[in-house]
Amino acid sequence: MSEQQDLRTGWGSRLARFSMALFLFEGVSGLAITLSPFHAAVEWSVLLHTLAGIVILLPIAWYCAVHWDDYRRYTMSQVVFLGYIALIALLICSVSGVVVTWQGLFALSMSAVWRNVHLYSGIAVLVVTLPHLFIPLVRMWRKRQAVDAKRLIVVSVGVTAIGCLAALGLSSFYSGTEYVNEFPEDYAFLYGEDRPFAPSLARTETGGAFDSRVLAGSDSCGTSGCHAQILEEWRPSAHGYAAKDAAFQKIQSIMAEQNGPESTRYCGGCHDPISLFSGTKNIFVEDLTGLHGYNEGVSCLSCHAIHETDLQGNANYVVSQPSEYLYQWESEGFKRVLRDFLIRTYPDEHNKLSKRMYKAPEYCAACHKQFIDEEVNKVGWVQLQNQYDNWAASHWNQEGNPERTVECRECHMPLVDSNDPASGDAADYNRSPDDGKHRSHRFVASNNVMPQLLQIEGWEEQVRLTELWLQGRYEIPEISDKWGTGPIIGIDLEAPETIAPGESIPLRVILTSNKVGHDFPTGPLDIIQSWVELEVTDDHGTVIYTSGRRDERNYLEPGTFLFKVEPVDQYGNLIDRHNLWEMVGVRFRRALFPGFTDTVEFDIGCPSDIPRPPEGAATDDSVAAHTIPSTPAAKEYRIEAKLNYRKFDQFLLDYMFGEDAGLTAPPVEISSATTTVRVMDPSSRTGG
Amino acid sequence: MVSNRKRPLGRRRRKLYGTVAIVFAVAVVASLLSLYAFRASRTEEYRTGEQHSEITRALSRDIPDGAPLPRFVDVTEAAGLSGFRTFAGERTSQLPEDMGPGAAWGDFDGDGDDDLFLVSAGGPLTAAENDLAPSELFENLGDGTFARVEEFPETRIVGMSAAWGDHDGDGDLDLVVTGYDTLRLFRNDSGHFERDDEFASPQGYWAGASWSDFDRDGDLDLYICGYVQYVPDVSGKDRISSQYGRQIPYTLNPSSYKPERNLLFVNRGDGTFDEQAESRGVSNPDGRSLVALWHDLDDDGWPDLYVANDISDNALYLNREGRFEDASHAAWVADYRGAMGLAAGDWNRDGDDDLFVTHWVAQENALYDSRFVDDAGLESAEGAPLRFVDFADQRGLGQIALRSVGWGAEFFDFDADGWLDLAVANGSTFEEQTVPRHLTPELPFLFWNDHGRFFHDLAPLSDPFAVPRVARGLALADYDNDGDIDVLLIDGDGGGVRLLRNETEQGNWVQLSLRARVENGYGPAEGARVVAVAGDVAHRRAVSGVSYLSQSSRRLHVGLGPDRLESVEVHWPGGSVQHVTGLTGRSIWEIREGEPEPRLLAAPRPPLTREQVSEFWNVQRAAVHAMKAEEDLVTAIDLFHRALEIDPTHEDSIYYLGNCLAERGELDAALRRFEALMRLNRSSHRAFKRWGTLRAMSATSSVALKEAEEALARAVEINPEATGARMVLAETKIVQGDLEAARQSLRWIHGTNPSAGDALFLLAYLDWRQGDSRGARDLLRRAAETGEDWRPEGAAAEGDVKRTMHRETTLFAGIYASWDRSTDPGPAFAALEESVRGYRRF
């Protein structure tokens, strides 16, 4: 027997064979995981790699200890030196492997540092171990003493091959959901087979259908506490209920009845992408919104799987089918643990769902810019709501100067304290990778109606924040230096300090857009209303003039000054049911451009100046409040003006849900102002 | 030492180290798995309402795949019934306030559609008569809407029920209305009603009313249920009593009061009555009766009487050639539970009519299956025995009802699959802890009959059905004559009515309107019975039914499923039997007693087939393209006609066709289209505005202008915030000389839209007309200054267009458009003045 064969860790020892076999598998599978494209077999390799790592941990430690003991009295040589280096690398690799495994199983996310330590120490082990083994092997080969070594190599290569085949076998057994990316057989291609989703401009990367499950499954993002906070924010957001929005549903069904079911694809790109891409918006379909589409609206993946957008608007984006992790949609059980482990320890594919372009306002423009053209109304082009171009042309947009620019996300996705794995950002000018914050996915804006109407989980907070938002009381500390404070629309009153008895009061109500990043109000302005409510009382408390109040049916009183659009069809008839397929223009429109001012003039008749009601004033004798009562001579008039906002005009709500439903959009007071006007003492006037 | 160390390890030590290593590795894996298992197996806190797989529900069934999707649309508002209220004021927790009311369908004007009488519970017992919400008659206008019959005598009562019946044999339906301390008969004379003051109205708390010619002497007799001998007592609401173990106010507990007797008004033949309940043995003095059903349960041609009693035994009086025999116990239907509503029908198609009874909370409803056919062999001296067995539990109608209080109920085949389904109105009698105290609403039931095997409640699948309400009455009719049966629910506790239009996919069906011989022609055939044979099934129907305080349409509906109708056998109340052939399905027929040929009343269009739907959209798209893109109106008109032949109710199609016709100058035809749209959709702003505008522009008489003004006023009413209709309305005011109204409208327009140059222009004209040239000049200057608001370059705004694509169609839009912006009133208003003069000539 040779000296080698006497060693406990010699080539022929079982310990060596066992350790070396798994060690080789770990090395090869580790390289495959690092270098191969994303594939189910690689995911299975990650799991096998981890399992083998756990199994090998102690044997290899033992092997190392004994091996060291076997050779520690040997004169230091290159082989011995390499052995010590390999031992150190292996130690680091093992410890980091344990940490990475631990984090993959029990932490919310995996530290990239530990992952890299594991990767690079592993490579170091491979690099150093090879010559450490190769040199004595060659020596033995020459002495024709390599019988045990050959056996060890055969066993190791064999085990590694079996491990790799096992990964391939498992991937053929299960590699994720089997999607059916096909249109229904009777799908109508009204605009040609190359434009299955027209008149929406939304497209899929393949040009074909996506199974409704492809972009759904938002809930799975919030399991294990990963993006739970973001999921909770998203649920009552306008993105979350974009499809289940009762108004959307109603209008979609009216559009289907009157203009054909396929025409509702126009709306689907932004409101209901899951149903659109799965071919649900088709003739003879029981429900134009499928279950996944209904529940998730603009789901997590509806945005995060978009990889290209165009500034044209009308949902001009391309969405791809994201790679799926094993057991991606599991929400509980061991399979979910495997899914979480894979996402955390093998995260590159998952990280592709976050793209730098999501910061750009141009990305939002894909849906926040809308128009009608001949494909929709058969007549011609009409601009609809367009928050993007409003913003782009406004003072909020200072290209190349983030300190003076306020972009979409900065207002509508303010930073919130976060324990989300995705918190922190190195790319934003006022953020850092470890700022412990994420951008809120509430997308707080102006809809204070639908979350409550639909009783979506968390609606109370959403409505509370929305109202704060509309009132300009929503603080965003990180942009307070450039965004300003106070009401989003300022209101000022200009009236003379004094008037002569019987004179009317010329009142100017000045409205200034302070904090709005686009037109105020912004569309759809056939539905949304903002108006001036005015009340003038004398010092006896008698109301002498009103405008902008709501009547018992919740309609605004005639003559109310309104920010809105009165859209019309070809014959000048009102577009009152959001029937955009008939809209060709507007009778009038009024909205405030960012930073601009609008002035409303009222001429308020005061008692003893009754004979002619003032311009622009509502003086219907049949309406009690408009009656100018005969009161004792007033010495002072108090004028109170408010700017109100409501999300839905009353007719639309009545039309959609019936007057009996008693639904009305609660108005929010955007801002208010008061002033007083004194009445000159007639005696002093006479005297003068 | 060194040589010692170089010695191989002993076998024992190697095994030991190997074992330790393996055990440790296994321990690591096992601890990880254990940790996971521990986390997964932690005992969760018990939650009420948890579902347990170990607890089964043998009596419930999953809805089978073949079940229809019930489609009902709440058309209450569109039908014009939303204004009706069944109560005015606040409850004072007294029994008569909570037990009603009902509703009755009947074609009082003989125009072929069912009209509707709605009973109101009035209001609190403490209220003065004038403060009670009135019971009202609504005429079915035949277009899906109803209009209140103004001339019906004012009826402000604490109402309970109503029932139509031609008691004077003049061929039209008279009406009896009951209530607390009231019993009223209204005679119908060709559509005009008068209260019959000679009709006895004894004091009592009168509930259900049912007509029947029980003695077969050719005239209708009337049975009235007396509920309890109620003693008004506002203070009683704070006294507590127990009802089936539940604590409720004393004054809401029927057990607190003695039962009231029932009445049988026997028709003397001249339209007057003799009350003979007691002498005929049907006064049922121990029963707190709510409704009574006349129905020939033993097929002997004589209508039997089944009385539903609350907290007292139900009573069955078999009619033995005009004499009554109390068979309540013999027939096993002396149900002691709190009975409310009744329905009769052959739900299992076994050839005899069965009974369904609704009950109070914690009591199952009853499905009394008649054993009449099964027991036919057991003839005794009295003939075949009539007995019933309660199958409610086994058929899904029992346990489901434990949590609700059932009221109105009717068998009907809502999907025309050939099996009688069942609708049930529910609503609690318990008060909620609210101020004022309201009753707890409950979901109604819509039971689909799964081929006689099981009744599945499909109400949750239909949103309009799945609304909790404090319902009482329930009455069915095909009010829109489209072939399927629609449902009307009427609520207590200050509610109103709900009309649910049936749009469920239908199998084959036939409807039969039976007209019995009366002295001078034909009249309603109360009590008649038919057997309609289709395939190998004999479907039984009868002109009867009371639901709860209610009356469904007397026109019979027979669902035939996949089968073709082969023949119909009519058993007339007078005893004659008539075989009728030549009837086809999906049609409404009138059968007159003795006339061999049936008359076709209507054959509603069946739902569109897939091919028709495809064809409609192809035609419609081509039409819209021709109209909007090609501007080829002749083709467009032709295509829209074709589209409307397929779907005559398509709103856009009607509207576009009207517009094309108007553009072609075919004004009358255009107006007719807009009128159709106005009828179809009372909220169609565009229909009213367009009709009003065209009518005004083409007016050649003041009447036409007035009509135009009314339509435009309706458009303004539909949406008072919009300025377009208001502008045309202002113009019609100007041409009619009502300048102040016009001025007001124009000011409102200008207030809403300060850029409305046309409004300023007309305001200037009004100033000028009134001699204020300075004011007119000032306004003209301001009008000339209006235009697009300035916006920064590149800023897009909602409504931007590349070219103007719409035309303001108003009386003076053209004149305003051609105004040269001069501020000299004379020339500025010359054309306008001439136009206005033109209108002023008539």
Q: Give the gap in angstroms from C-alpha B677 to the nearest C-alpha of chain A.
A: 13
- Give the pLDDT of residue B20: 44
Q: In what order do the strands lie in the sheet with B339-345?
A: B339-345, B354-359, B366-370, B388-390
* pLDDT cut 90: percent of chain B above it: 67
User: How does residue B31 score in pLDDT terms, banded at 50, 70 and 90?
Assistant: low
**Tens digits of per-residue pLDDT, B135-150?**
999 999 988 899 999 9
Six-digit token pair at A473?
Answer: 């009381």
A199 cis-preceded (ω within 30 degrees of 0): yes
Q: Give the gap in angstroms from C-alpha A258 to the nearest C-alpha of chain B.
A: 6
Contact A574 B686 (CB under 8 A): yes
Contact B798 A659 (CB under 8 A): no
- Give the pLDDT of residue B52: 56
* Separation of alpha carbons A397 and A408, rounded Å: 10
User: How does residue A630 score in pLDDT terms, banded at 50, 70 and 90?
Assistant: very low
pLDDT tops 90 at residue A457: yes
**Tens digits of per-residue pLDDT, B600-645?**
888 777 778 889 999 999 999 999 999 999 999 999 999 999 998 8
Q: With beta carbons less than 8 A apart as the criterion, state whether B346 and B355 touch.
A: no
Centre a 10 Å sphere on the Cβ of residue A69 and count the other Cβ atoms it contains: 13
pLDDT tops 80 at residue A618: no
Closest CA to B149 of B123, B198, B188, B122: B188
A613 cis-preceded (ω within 30 degrees of 0): no
User: How does residue A3 score in pLDDT terms, banded at 50, 70 and 90?
Assistant: very low
Nearest by CB: B751 against A374, A560, A655: A560
pLDDT tops 70 at residue B16: no
Q: Give the gap in angstroms from C-alpha B428 to the nearest C-alpha of chain A.
A: 22
Contact A584 B806 (CB under 8 A): yes
In sequence order, which residues have a C-beta less than 8 Å from that of residue B227 and are 6 or more positions away?
B99, B205, B206, B207, B254, B259, B260, B288, B289, B290, B310
Q: Give the gap in angstroms from C-alpha B472 to the nearest C-alpha of chain A.
A: 20
Residues B797-818: what's their mean pLDDT? Answer: 92
Q: In what order do the strands lie in the sheet with B445-449?
A: B406-412, B421-426, B445-449, B455-457
Nearest by CB: B807 against A283, A337, A570: A570
Residues A427-449: what's their mean pLDDT? Answer: 93
Q: Give the gap in angstroms from C-alpha B650 to the nearest C-alpha of chain A.
A: 7
> In chain A, which among 546-585 make CB contacts under 8 A with chain B?
547, 551, 555-556, 558-562, 565-574, 576, 582, 584-585
pLDDT tops 90 at residue A645: yes
- Give the pLDDT of residue B250: 82
* Separation of alpha carbons A22 and A192, rounded Å: 57
* Domain A489-611+620-684 CATH assignment equals 2.60.40.10: yes
**Tens digits of per-residue pLDDT, B63-78?**
888 899 999 999 999 9
**Residue of A294 and A688 predicted with greater confidence:** A294
Residues B151-163: what's their mean pLDDT? Answer: 95
User: How does residue A615 score in pLDDT terms, banded at 50, 70 and 90?
Assistant: very low
**Residue of B38 and A574 predicted with greater confidence:** A574
* A572 contacts in chain B (CB < 8 Å): 724, 806-810, 813
- Give the pLDDT of residue A624: 36
**Tens digits of per-residue pLDDT, A486-534?**
999 999 999 999 999 888 999 999 999 999 999 999 979 999 999 999 9
Burial class for A645, CB neighbours closer than 10 Å (0-12, 13-18, 19+): buried
What is the value of ipTM here, to two decimals?
0.89
Distance from the Cα of residue B645 to its chain's centroid: 28
**Residue of B433 and B822 predicted with greater confidence:** B822
Residues A270-295: what's their mean pLDDT? Answer: 96
- Give the pLDDT of residue A621: 36
A521 cis-preceded (ω within 30 degrees of 0): yes
**Residue of A14 and B751 predicted with greater confidence:** B751
* B806 contacts in chain A (CB < 8 Å): 568-572, 584-585
CA atoms within 13 Å, Cβ hemisphere of B550: 36
Q: With beta carbons less than 8 A apart as the criterion, state whether B132 and B158 touch.
A: yes
Enter the pTM of the model.
Answer: 0.70
A570 to chain B: closest CA residue: B806
> Domain extents for chain A?
3-173, 203-480, 489-611+620-684
**Tens digits of per-residue pLDDT, B91-145?**
888 889 999 899 999 999 988 899 999 999 999 999 999 999 999 999 999 888 9
pLDDT tops 80 at residue A40: yes
* pLDDT cut 70: percent of chain A above it: 94
Contact B747 A600 (CB under 8 A): no
Distance from the Cα of residue A143 to its chain's centroid: 68
> In chain A, which among 157-186 make CB contacts under 8 A with chain B?
none
* Separation of alpha carbons B828 and A442, rounded Å: 56
In total, the C-beta contacts within 8 angstroms joining chain A to chain B are 232
> In chain A, which among 327-366 make CB contacts under 8 A with chain B?
333-334, 337
Residues A169-182: what's their mean pLDDT? Answer: 94
- Give the pLDDT of residue B596: 83
Q: Give the gap in angstroms from C-alpha B613 to the nearest C-alpha of chain A.
A: 9
Angle at B321 between CA B315 and CA B324, to 5 degrees: 25
**Tens digits of per-residue pLDDT, B548-591?**
999 999 999 999 998 888 899 999 998 999 999 878 888 899 99
* B17 contacts in chain A (CB < 8 Å): 62
Tell me B793's DSSP state.
T
**Residue of B23 and B538 predicted with greater confidence:** B538
A374 touches chain B (CB under 8 A): yes
Six-digit token pair at B127?
Answer: 């209220």
Q: With beta carbons less than 8 A apart as the criterion, state whether A110 and A347 touch.
A: yes
- Give the pLDDT of residue A619: 39
